Structure 1
């Protein structure tokens, strides 16, 4: 079971809301809305996606990485490396 299973419905709800925001941005571009207004909405979507990513990362650390750490050995090392790589990708984005 994935670490986010308990929050799956909340994540899906947030992602559907973000999807609607992105469609709204596309409509703004199609309707030639003011650039700054579009950029404001892009910033809001970016922030919303970052919050989803941070929530998923937290769930991964609390469940998957902690469980692997309890097992020790290569399993723990692999999960910690995997989490570190995910954090690096988030920081770069």
Structure 2
């Protein structure tokens, strides 16, 4: 995973952090379920819930990025690069 030097203020930062904390708790729960030899199907249901929650975080970040970073780039004449970057992210997310 590569990091860039671009930074932005997350308008929904606290909401995202709260969601991620809940996801952390769910992951710890799955860990305990496996340690305690819980039924596989129950564990798989929890994993599915975690994946769904992560998708919601991704979509929230994507929405924020589009409404702020991409819009600002278009206004500042950097629109084509921002759209290409956005499409690259979308392709990665849908793999």
Question: What TM-score results when the alignment is normalised by the length of structure 1?
Answer: 0.90
| Superposition CA RMSD, Å | 1.1
Runs of 4 or more off by more than 2 Å in structure 1? none
| Residue 28 of structure 2 corresponds to residue 23 of structure 1 | yes
Q: Could you say which residue in structure 1 is the equivalent of 2:39?
A: 34
> What SS is found at the alignment partner of 2:8?
coil
8 Å Cα contact 2:11-2:64 kept in structure 1: no
Q: Could you say which residue in structure 1 is the equivalent of 2:81?
A: 78
Which structure has the highest helix share of the two? 1
Structure 1: distance between partners of 2:80 and 2:49? 36
Structure 1: distance between partners of 2:8 and 2:76? 17
Q: Could you say which residue in structure 1 is the equivalent of 2:8?
A: 2
Structure 1 segments unaligned to the other structure (5+ residues): none
8 Å Cα contact 2:30-2:43 kept in structure 1: yes
Task: Tell me the matched-pair count.
Answer: 89
Structure 2 segments unaligned to the other structure (5+ residues): 1-6
Tell me how far 1:50 sits from its aligned partner.
Answer: 0.1
Q: Could you say which residue in structure 1 is the equivalent of 2:51?
A: 46
Aligned partner (choices 51, 55, 62) of residue 57 of structure 1? 62
Structure 2: distance between partners of 1:11 and 1:51? 9
